[in-house]
């Protein structure tokens, strides 16, 4: 027993407390997390949280150790999205904390619940800037980058601290929360019974938020008056996990819909009302757009510009849990503030039984356009060229995802991302996990690991070769935990293309990599399966085998280095220099 524990024991017995049993910060923190159903922690060990990780594991929490905190954090962020419970990331002080902070900011930007728990140095030394081991005022650094940030200084406050963190992460618009754990908190001792009494089980952490009846009626009036309505489903709608209600609402209205990237599969992508293959037409010509858990941010060109047709030609209905989202980019005619489940339930009730479905001419025009676009694309998806292009490779993956609707697709890159998003259909909710609102490269392996851990389903991560490089070392983590993950690296030997040449010096161009690097050997190095695929046939065979075997697999898919375009589909966002080049 430590000296402090001895003193405390004596004090407690002097005050008449005879239980004598003690607990400490380590155990209180573990008990607080367990009491609130935390099952998994993603992190990297080190001072001062190594023993905490060990003890949590011994107490039945699954603790997954990563090679870099950013990927542990990305795992926690996507675990939050998939489960509606905060994903937990555990890091060491200053540098480990900073590595984890990127993913905490990413979770916040995407409205996903996550808690970054980080060990920190002693307050007294940090605040006097006396140069402690890994000294940093972490709370101050975290604050502007997440939804809420708390520090716990006393063991008796651990229960409340954890409760606040959980509620802040999941209630209202979900987001990232920072929880600062100074090293000496973990060793603080208190009476075991009092400790247990100090813990808090959070009741109803994300309370339903009902829309006002006036707002519901207003929304129904706007929808009723529309001649060419359109629904846009965003990842807030898939996060809400009221899948049948969303499907029921879309079908009852008969309104055609678009799905934002991670909302794909919320209704099956081959649904007759899905207007994905006629995206330009519906955005331009619709007269009323209903956003359900989607923001009018850059991903929707802020709801304006040529893509959106004539200015002021549309009315907007917007469901979001955050009132500040209304009128953020366009005036909203019918704001519906509340959680999606409550809002859609109220709308369904208000619609009654005799809601007349959307105009047949509008649906017919969309269907005609969609069919023409699908027919135009079909031969490209069937091409069997060697070296492969994006479409030849993705045409095969599309078939595989249709045959395996439970398999989760993780996707990042530029061309690899944009083409895979439009080619691969998903048939169930929350099966597509990608770069999210920021377009972050590096989410790949952390996301794949959490997807496999949280769902038990096989994961196929379709990765640009650059994108993969950001988190590639985590293939060791995949092998160590023997996860059913198949990484497909779309290897075009570079960022966007593998063909750039630097004609003014000896260094390679900034966007090219070692030609046809053997990424498959990285997986082999740790005991997994590594394969090179030169043709669509090779690729299809290897992916099917990986899904069936559930063995960690990396397929190095050699893609024609000329096949991609600068920045994929968002090349227009690159600033142009007005100074003529040499
Ligand atoms: P996408 O990128 O798919 O368009 P966004 O991340 O931009 O989606 O938007 C998701 C929106 O969903 C956010 O504005 C968030 O506040 C909202 N949201 C998240 N969960 C819920 C919920 N349960 N009910 C209502 N809105 C939600
Ligand atoms: N760093 C981070 C964290 N995120 C980013 N989005 C970028 C850099 C910039 N970036 C992109 O937006 S896409 C991309 C980078 C570096 C890589 C594209 O190359 P790729 O994909 O090999 O992954 P394709 O298929 O070759 O286009
Ligand atoms: Mg590439």
Task: Report the alpha-carbon distance of residue 566 to residue 47 in Å, rounded.
Answer: 43
Element (H, E) at 320: strand 315-320
Tokens 């489940």 belong to 341
Pocket test of ligand 2: the residue of 73, 462, 496 to mutate, having most ligand atoms within 8 Å of its CB, is 496
Nearest one of 227, 249, 225, 226 to 237, comparing CA atoms: 249
Mean pLDDT of all residues in 201-211: 98
- pLDDT grade, residue 206 (50/70/90)? very high
Question: What average pLDDT score do residues 230-247 get?
Answer: 98
Give 3-state DSSP helix, strand, coil % of the chain, rounded to 5. Answer: 45, 15, 35
| CA–CA gap between residue 268 and residue 133 (Å, rounded) | 52
Burial 47-67 (b: 16+ CB within 10 A, else e): ebbeebbebbeeeebebbbbb
**Rounded (5°) CA angle 390-393-397:** 120
Query: Ligand 3 centroid to 547 CA: how many Å?
Result: 24
Q: Which residues contact 503 (CB under 8 A, 6 or more apart)?
A: none
**Using a 6 Å cutoff on CB, does residue 440 contact ligand 2?**
yes
Cβ contact 338:210 at 8 Å = yes
At residue 581, the pLDDT reads: 59
Which protein residues are within 6 Å of ligand 1, measured from CB?
A: 110-111, 173, 234-236, 239-240, 260, 262-263, 293-295, 297, 299, 320-322, 325, 339-340, 437
pLDDT at 17 over 60: no
Q: Determine the Cα–Cα distance for residues 333 and 339; give it in Å rounded to an integer.
A: 18
If 0-12 CB within 10 Å is exposed, 13-18 middle and 19+ buried, where does residue 192 land? middle
Which ligand 2 atom lies nearest to the CA of residue 490? 25
Query: What's the CA dihedral at 63, 67, 73, 78 to 10 degrees?
Result: -80
Residue 536 near residue 392, CB atoms below 8 Å: yes
Higher pLDDT, 17 or 407: 407
Distance 95 CA to ligand 1 centre (A): 31
CA-CA distance, 176 to 76, in Å (whole number)?
10
Predicted confidence (pLDDT) at residue 4 exceeds the cutoff of 80: no
Model-level pTM?
A: 0.96
Confidence bin at 12 (pLDDT 50/70/90): low
Tokens 């109803």 belong to residue = 204
Rounded CA gap, 172 and 195, in Å? 30
Q: From the CA of 495, give the closest atom in ligand 2.
A: 19
Token pair of 137 as six digits: 């005022």
Q: What is the pLDDT of residues 500-533, one digit of tens each?
A: 999 999 999 999 999 999 999 999 999 999 999 9
Instruction: Identify the structural domains of the chain with CATH numbers, from first to last.
Output: 23-197 (3.40.50.970), 213-366 (3.40.50.1220), 382-558 (3.40.50.970)
**Farthest-apart Cα atoms in the chain, separation:** 86
* pLDDT tens, residue by residue, 34-64: 999 999 999 999 999 999 999 999 999 999 9
For residue 578, the model assigns a pLDDT of 86
Contacts of 289 (CB under 8 A, 6+ apart): 229, 230, 231, 232, 303, 314, 315, 316, 317
Task: Return d(Cα 492, Cα 555) in angstroms, integer.
Answer: 13
Q: Is residue 542 predicted with pLDDT exceeding 90?
A: yes
- Give pLDDT tens digits for 147-160: 999 999 999 999 99
94 burial type by CB count under 10 A (0-12 exposed, 13-18 middle, 19+ buried): buried
**Range in 167-171, 352-356, 411-415, 476-480 the model is least confident about:** 352-356
> Rounded to the nearest whole angstrom, what is the distance from the C-alpha of residue 282 to the centroid of ligand 2?
29
- In the three-class reduction of DSSP (H, G, I as helix; E, B as strand; rest coil), residue 5 is classed as helix
Among 476, 504, 471, smallest CA distance to 489 is for 471
Number of neighbouring beta carbons within 10 Å of residue 344: 24
């Amino acid at each position: 027993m430590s000296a402090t524990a001895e003193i405390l024991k004596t004090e407690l017995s002097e005050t008449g407390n005879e239980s004598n049993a003690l607990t400490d910060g380590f155990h209180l923190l573990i008990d607080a997390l367990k009491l609130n159903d935390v099952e998994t922690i993603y992190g990297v060990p080190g001072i001062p949280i190594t023993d905490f990780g060990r003890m949590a594991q011994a107490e039945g929490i699954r603790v997954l150790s990563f090679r870099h905190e950013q990927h542990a954090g990305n795992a926690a962020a996507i675990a939050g999205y998939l489960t509606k419970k905060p994903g937990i990331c555990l890091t060491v002080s200053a540098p480990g904390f900073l590595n984890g902070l990127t993913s905490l900011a990413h979770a916040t930007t995407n409205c996903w619940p996550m808690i970054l728990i980080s060990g920190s140095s002693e307050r007294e030394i940090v605040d006097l800037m006396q140069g402690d081991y890994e000294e940093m005022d972490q709370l101050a650094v975290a604050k502007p980058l997440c939804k809420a940030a708390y520090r716990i200084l006393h063991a008796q406050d651990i229960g409340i601290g954890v409760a606040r963190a959980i509620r802040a992460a999941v209630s209202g618009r979900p987001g990232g929360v920072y929880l600062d754990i100074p090293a000496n908190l973990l060793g603080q001792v208190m009476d075991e019974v009092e400790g247990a009494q100090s813990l808090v089980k959070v009741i109803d952490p994300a309370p339903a938020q009902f829309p006002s009846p006036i707002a519901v009626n207003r929304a129904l009036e706007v929808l009723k008056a529309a001649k060419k309505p359109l629904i846009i489903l965003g990842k807030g709608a898939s996060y809400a996990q009221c899948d049948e209600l969303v499907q029921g609402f879309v079908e009852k209205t008969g309104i055609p819909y678009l799905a934002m990237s991670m909302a794909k599969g919320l209704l099956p992508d081959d649904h007759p009302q899905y207007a994905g293959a006629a995206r330009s037409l519906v955005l331009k010509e619709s007269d009323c757009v209903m956003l359900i858990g989607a923001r009018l941010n850059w991903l929707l060109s802020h709801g304006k510009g040529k893509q959106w047709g004539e200015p002021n030609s549309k009315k907007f209905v917007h469901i979001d849990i955050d009132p500040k989202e209304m009128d953020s980019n366009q005036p909203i005619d019918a704001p519906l503030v509340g959680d999606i489940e409550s809002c859609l339930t109220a709308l369904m009730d208000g619609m009654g039984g005799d809601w007349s479905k959307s105009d047949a001419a509008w649906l017919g025009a969309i269907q005609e356009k969609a069919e023409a676009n699908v027919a135009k694309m079909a031969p490209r998806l069937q091409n069997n060229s060697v070296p492969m292009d994006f479409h030849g490779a993705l045409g095969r993956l599309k078939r595989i995802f249709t045959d395996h609707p439970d398999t989760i697709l993780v996707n990042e890159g530029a061309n690899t991302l944009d083409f895979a998003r439009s080619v691969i259909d998903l048939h169930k909710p929350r099966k597509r996990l990608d770069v999210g609102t920021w377009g972050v490269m590096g989410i790949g392996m952390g996301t794949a690991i959490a997807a496999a851990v949280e769902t038990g389903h096989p994961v196929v991560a379709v990765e640009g070769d650059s994108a993969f490089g950001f988190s590639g070392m985590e293939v060791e983590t995949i092998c160590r935990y023997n996860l059913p993950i198949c990484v497909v690296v779309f290897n075009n030997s570079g960022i966007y293309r593998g063909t750039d040449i630097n004609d003014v010096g000896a260094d390679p161009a900034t966007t090219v990599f070692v030609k046809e690097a053997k990424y498959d050997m990285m997986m082999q190095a740790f005991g997994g399966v590594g394969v090179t695929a030169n043709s669509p046939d090779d690729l299809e065979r290897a992916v099917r085998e990986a899904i069936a075997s559930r063995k960690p697999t990396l397929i190095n898919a050699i893609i024609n280095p000329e096949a991609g375009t600068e920045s994929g589909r968002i090349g227009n966002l690159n600033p142009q220099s007005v100074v003529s080049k040499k």
